[in-house]
Amino acid sequence: MPASESSTPRVSSTPSAPKDSVTPSASGSESKFYVCDATVPCDHKRIGEVSMGAAKEIGGRPCQEDMVHMDENTQSATLCDGHGGDYFSKRLVSEFWDRVVAHPDYPENVKKAIEDTCVKLDEECLQTSSDEYKQVGTTLTAAQIFNDKLWLAWVGDSQIVVAQNGEMVFLSKPHNTKNSEELQRVKEAGGTIIARKFASKIGHPVLKDACTICVTRAFGNRVFKDSEYTNGLPSGLIPTPEIHEFDANMFDFVILASDGFWDKIPPEGAVDRVYKKLATGMNVQDVADELVAAASDSSDNVSVIIIAN
């Protein structure tokens, strides 16, 4: 996702981990990545009575910064859309729900566990952000089914759709400057808004329009958060998630997708496509593949996860 622009050269990312590779985490322990290679279809995973499928495509971008992960052990799915590189999207996509589940307040207070995990992960991203990665960041979109509850959380401009009885019953609001509530929040926090032809962006506290970012919530992006670069001035860019809880028996399917997908396929259109494909007996993985193919002419990376009852 081309979330940030700067007068300084964009940083290069570390090479993407191959599918099913094992990569050391920041703590030195090994974490198993389940990532989809853009040229290799994702394995279809089944969690109890819930089916899941995921796919992604590089689209019009020169490299793939989207990462997706499905985990049978925690009955969860995560989608991260990186910008400036894939350094943090690769890490957070596999660690997020493991860290939430390990939180001392989980499962009694899932909301607090998610919120605290987001804060901690962002702190770690900033601590590990050398100058090489100062402009690297990622959004995060996540879902988990636990104790008959469907938990949804998101940070950034990837979006979630919940469908039931043939129609869309929930659509998450993206965290970008097209969201009037987010625009107001950034202004009230003391952030700078730079007007652009197609959409406003957050301007850097010091560099202003010489360094901008289009998302209003994200992990990483040290250059917008660290006083070393901001002179202690606020940018309005935060890692705080929005969280919603649903009855896990009261949905037909959930779609998690990056902004590159929603740029091409409207939410109602995606819901209609999924219902029609599932009605023919197509499995969820094939439906995810078809959704990504329908948006493959996007100028951005495209990634989709479907969870179906």
Q: Under 8 Å CB-to-CB from 156, ≥6 apart: which residues? A: 81, 138, 139, 140, 141, 174, 175, 176, 215, 217, 218
Q: How far apart are CA 11 and CA 15, in angstroms?
A: 13
In this predicted structure, the answer to whether residue 232 has a pLDDT above a threshold of 50 is yes
Q: Residue 28 domain-assigned?
A: no
Q: Residue 222 domain-assigned?
A: yes
Whose CA is closest to 134, among 251, 260, 38, 224?
224
**For the segment 54-105, what is each residue's pLDDT rounded down to a tens digit?**
999 999 999 999 999 999 888 999 999 999 999 999 999 999 999 999 999 9
The pair of three-digit structure tokens given for residue 275, joined into one six-digit string: 């219902």
**For the segment 131-166, what is each residue's pLDDT rounded down to a tens digit?**
889 999 999 999 999 989 999 999 999 999 999 999
* 58, 82 contact by CB (below 8 A): no
In this predicted structure, the answer to whether residue 207 has a pLDDT above a threshold of 90 is yes
Whose CA is closest to 141, among 243, 26, 9?
243
Q: Residue 86 domain-assigned?
A: yes
Q: Is 185 helix (H, G, I), strand (E, B) or coil?
A: helix
Work out how many domains the chain is built from and give that number: 1
Q: Is 178 helix (H, G, I), strand (E, B) or coil?
A: coil
pLDDT at 24: 28
Residue with tokens 């993206």: 174
Exposed, middle or buried by CB within 10 Å (0-12, 13-18, 19+), for 177?
A: buried
Q: Are strands 208-213 and 201-204 parallel, antiparallel or unpaired?
A: antiparallel
Residue type, 300: D
**For the segment 106-115, what is each residue's pLDDT rounded down to a tens digit?**
999 999 999 9
Q: Residue 266 domain-assigned?
A: yes
In this predicted structure, the answer to whether residue 37 has a pLDDT above a threshold of 50 is no
User: Where is pLDDT greater, at 6 or 167?
Assistant: 167
Q: Please provide the average confidence, as pLDDT, over all residues in the chain.
A: 87
Domain that includes residue 287, residue range? 46-188+217-227+240-308
Q: Residue 209 domain-assigned?
A: no
Q: Residue 287 domain-assigned?
A: yes
**For the segment 174-202, what is each residue's pLDDT rounded down to a tens digit?**
999 999 999 999 999 999 999 988 889 99
pLDDT at 73: 81
In this predicted structure, the answer to whether residue 227 has a pLDDT above a threshold of 80 is yes
pLDDT at 1: 54
Q: Is 269 helix (H, G, I), strand (E, B) or coil?
A: helix
Q: Residue 198 domain-assigned?
A: no
pLDDT at 4: 53
pLDDT at 177: 94
pLDDT > 70: percent of the chain: 84
Q: Residue 1 domain-assigned?
A: no
Q: From residue 253, how far is each of 248, 284, 287 by CA, in Å?
A: 10, 10, 12
CATH number, domain at 279? 3.60.40.10
Q: From residue 131, how far is each of 106, 126, 229 by CA, in Å?
A: 35, 10, 11
Q: Is the dihedral of CA 257, 261, 263, 269 positive or negative?
A: negative
At 14, is the pLDDT very low, low, confident or very high (cuts 50, 70, 90)? very low
Q: How far apart are CA 127 and CA 32, in angstroms?
A: 22
